[in-house]
Structure 1
Amino acid sequence: MVVDDIEVARAVERGEVGGDVIVADEQPTQDATSTVMTDESGLEPQPTDDEQASGTSGRHGMPKITIVLLTMAAAWLGLSLLHELSSVIAPLFFALNLLITAYPIHTWLVKHKCPRWISATSAGTVVIIVLAAGLAGMVWSVAAMISQLQSYIPQMEKIYSQLLEWSTRLGYSQEVITQKLKKIDPQQVMSVVTSLVSDTTSVVTMIVVILTGMIFMVMDTPQMHDRLHMAGQRKPGAVIALESFAHGIRKYWLVTTVFGLIVALFDWAALLIIGVPLAGVWALFSFLTNYIPNIGFIIGVIPPALLALFDDGWVAAIAVVIAYSVLNFVIQTIIQPKFAGDAVGLTPTMSFVSLLLWGWVFGALGTLIALPCSLLVKATLIDHDPGARWLNTLISSRPTEGLEDDPDEDPDGLVADR
């Protein structure tokens, strides 16, 4: 057809054929990129049984199981890499969380005509003061517990004798227990001590990385607004995801802090009523451990329960455990999620899975930043990806969010984008 058209055009130029020549067999052409092949009924052809059995995807051209396996392998490789670099990435991400939370201080000072470098330095200084106060409170709580336990040595011996008596009633004689205690290898004890010293060194290294990273992040803060504005002109979706993450981070830490204070005050009152020594110290300890999701209150209840046991017996210890459990269930399980739901938006099961996953990836610090890590993944890979929003129905505490503007649910685009 193309050859015939060229020959006719050349003949017209030579004057051999009139200009109004009509080619009889010419067919109207269509742009291949703007048409869809249809069958005689006018409908799009459906995949054959062989194509459906092979599980191929029209978009990727490979079996779906292959896509799933490749995705899982990539995720495992990424998590393994993060695990290997956890001593650097986890402290830096934690520092980023703190600076994002304090960023409104910078914007407020800039709005009131304060130079940007001064406002950024002020926000960073506030973060360092809060971090130092938290570390000092944790060290003070642990030191107070060790000091207080030394005065309960007679009570410890009494409880030890009671345990031996109960074990004898269960069929374990004191000689058997003594033989088992003698089998403890001193080298194992030394390995535990060495591990504790190593952990202390890791904590010091982590603090150094946090402070050093924070200094450089503060230096970048004055230009961050302009950088995001320029990036948003080229990649608006990515910038929207980052802004959503930052908003969720600020709300998460704010809500966690407020409800941590509320729980600590109620714990303080309960400990005073029960008569546990150092009630204020354990209230502070409860507030600090509240930042660890799901299991923070379990860590916070151990010291006061032990002191109640040594000071007043089993009844007081059980009363402390019940008081902490009731307060945690009512405030942190029923009330707090109603305020913090928009911050992370994960189901309780996914929150617990996040705690285990990021705890393995980043270690002890990973339990503190578990939900922020999941929030980053959710905001960047799911919430702002129309093709992945269906995952919210499985993992989100608000399963209907995003479905109203999902292209799969609204193929004609009739629903306006929010």
Structure 2
Amino acid sequence: MEQRVMGQRGVAVMIGITTAILAAAALQLASGIFAPVAFALFIMALVWPLQKSLQRVLPQLLALFITLAVTIVVLLGLVSLTVWGFGRAAQWLIANAARFQTLYMQGAGWLEGHGLYAAGTFVETFNVGWLIRFFQGVAARVNGMLGFSVVTAIFVMLGLLEVDVMRRKLAGAEAGEAGHSLLRASEEIARKFRRYMVVRTAMSFFTGLAIWAFAATAGLDLAFAWGVIAFVMNYIPFIGPLVATLLPTLFAVVQFESWQMAVAVFAGMNVIQFFSGSYIEPRIAGKALAMSPFIVLLSVFFWAFMWGLPGAFIGVPLVIAALVVCDQHDSSRWVARLLSGQAPAKD
């Protein structure tokens, strides 16, 4: 009897793993549909309070138009800042390409002089051409998101028109307890999304301001551009701060021609990122947004692999939504507690 139960559990586990793999494959293959829908739901959760407030004094279509206009302006502002910041860095890079290449060759010569002959291969791979292609790739990705943004905007527009109708259906008697549970979960998810973005925006602004001030004090070229890049990249946990720290460090090596100064820039910027992300942000976010750092990192890489740049941005909110859903049911509440960043309650 016991062996039969164990066998059934094994079959259930295998079915669950297979289902998860097939679901992940479907999400990736149909990313052109699922990614804009997920992004649209995320934006709807953020802007719905504005839409709801406007509808109290304005016709629904006019309130929708104003809400969409505000949303588009904010998104275009973030995209413009991203393009401007990386564009400034790319211009500086092209103007100083010879200095970059000379520095790489000197470094390779020093390494080979100490018996590290693999440095030649490193120079062939990681040279100024690689850096130029990196900046070109960033610009191409940002420009390539135009189609994604149009599809997302259409979903947002249609979704905002349906929010009130859907809410009344879920709150009605016909939906039953399942509808009420889904409504509670949706409201809690939306509330946490808004708090997440408020905290993330505040920390991004603080980080960008601190990076700009530090770079200007250190005499680093493009100080304001590095602050802008730190601001926009901080919306992507782990990956964004890493990029915003490594690039100025690399440029500092070329500008000052001193590895000591580069180390100082790298250390100073990492102190800022650590203080912002590991000390201030958890205290502002509180327990409501607590998540395991491992899960945060995994979610960023997983959704970046699935949906690219939009996935990296929305990865953490998707995990927040999943944890809220798990917390709504007794059978899965342990999952939400396990993956949260909160310490277990003491007996």
TM-score calculated relative to the size of structure 2:
0.85
Would the alpha carbon gap of residues 127 and 227 (structure 1) be closer, same or farther in structure 2, given more than 3 Å must change? Answer: farther
- Write the mapping of 1:21-100 to structure 2, written as runs, cut at 5 A: 51-55=1-5, 63-100=8-45
Q: Which residue of 2 aligns with 1:389?
A: 333
Return the match for 1:219 from 161, 164, 173. Answer: 161
Q: Which residue of 2 aligns with 1:414?
A: none
TM-score, structure 1 as length reference = 0.72
The structure-2 alpha-carbon separation of the partners of 1:221 and 1:122, relative to structure 1 and needing over 3 Å to count, comes to: farther
Residue 237 of structure 2 is matched in structure 1 by 293
1:215-267 per-position Cα deviation (integer Å, ceiling 9, x unaligned): 32343356454345338952211111111111111111111011111111111
Q: Look up the SS of the partner of 1:83 in the other structure.
A: helix
Mapping of residues 339-378 of structure 1, within 5 Å? 339-378=284-323
Q: Partners of 2:230 and 2:174 in 1: how far apart?
A: 41
Cα 1:197–1:127 change in 2 (3 A) is: closer
CA distance in 2, matches of 1:199, 1:170: 40
What corresponds to 2:172 in structure 1? Answer: 230
Alpha carbons 2:83, 2:142 under 8 Å: kept: no
Q: How big is the shift at 1:65?
A: 1.7
CA contact (8 A) 2:249 2:263 kept: yes
Higher relative contact order (CA 8 A, sep 6+): 2
Q: Deviation at 1:101? A: 1.0
Which is richer in helix?
2
Q: Given that residues 120 and 222 in structure 1 are in contact (C-alpha distance below 8 angstroms), is that contact kept between their aligned partners in structure 2? A: no
Q: State the partner residue of 1:270.
A: 214
Change over 3 Å in CA distance of 1:107–1:343 after alignment to 2: farther
1:193–1:156 CA distance, 2 compared to 1 (3 A):
closer
Q: 2:337, 2:248 → 1: CA distance?
A: 41
* Pair member with larger Rg: 1
Shift of 1:367: 1.0
1:210 corresponds to: 152
What CA deviation, in whole Å up to 9, does each residue of 1:327-361 have, x standing for no partner?
A: 11111112212322445432111111212222222
The alignment partner of 1:369 has SS state of: helix
Aligned partners of 1:352 and 1:164: how far apart in 2? 33
Within-5 A mapping of 1:170-181: 170-171=114-115, 177=120
Give the Å deviation of 1:368.
Answer: 0.7
**In structure 2, the residue corresponding to 1:398 is in which secondary structure?**
coil
What CA RMSD, in Å, does the superposition of the two structures yield over aligned residues? 3.2
1:345-391 alpha-carbon deviations (Å, 9 max, x no partner): 321111112122222222222111111111222222x1111111122
Whole-Å Cα distance in 2 between the matches of residues 151 and 197 of structure 1?
A: 18
* Identity within the alignment, %: 23
State whether residues 341 and 397 of structure 1, in contact with CA within 8 Å, keep that contact through their aligned partners in structure 2.
Answer: no
Does the 8 Å CA contact 2:303/2:315 hold for their aligned counterparts?
A: yes
Q: Is the 8 A contact 1:392 1:400 kept in 2?
A: no
1:116 lines up with 2:60 in the alignment: yes
Bigger mean CA deviation after superposition, 383-392 or 219-228:
219-228
Gap change, CA 1:245 and 1:318, over 3 Å in 2: same
Alpha-carbon distance in structure 2 between the residues aligned to 1:163 and 1:114: 65
1:151 Cα deviation from its structure 2 partner: 2.6
| Partner SS state of residue 63, structure 1 | helix
Q: Alpha-carbon deviation of 1:54?
A: 3.0
Partner residue of 1:284 out of 223, 228, 243:
228
- In structure 2, the CA distance between the partners of 1:67 and 1:331, relative to structure 1 (3 Å rule), is same
Aligned 8 A contact 1:344 1:371 in 2: no
User: 2:49 aligned to 104, 112, 119, which one?
Assistant: 104
> Does the 8 Å contact 2:171/2:180 carry over to 1?
no
d(CA) in 1 for partners of 2:28, 2:187 = 26
1:121, distance to aligned residue in structure 2 (A): 2.3
- AA matched with 1:378: L
From the superposition, tell whether residues 74 and 341 of structure 1 become closer, same or farther in structure 2 (CA, over 3 Å): farther
Contact 1:231-1:239 at 8 Å conserved across structures: no
Cα deviation 1:185-225 (Å, max 9, x = unaligned): xxxxxx99998898577433322322332332343356454
Assess, with a 3 A threshold, how the Cα gap between structure 1 residues 271 and 375 changes in structure 2: closer, same or farther.
same
Give the structure 1 partner of residue 81 of structure 2: 137
- Say if 1:161 and 1:357 are closer, same or farther in 2 by CA, change over 3 A: closer
The answer to whether the 8 Å contact 2:188/2:324 transfers is yes
Could you say which residue in structure 2 is the equivalent of 1:159? 103
Contact 1:245 1:376 (8 Å CA) reproduced = yes
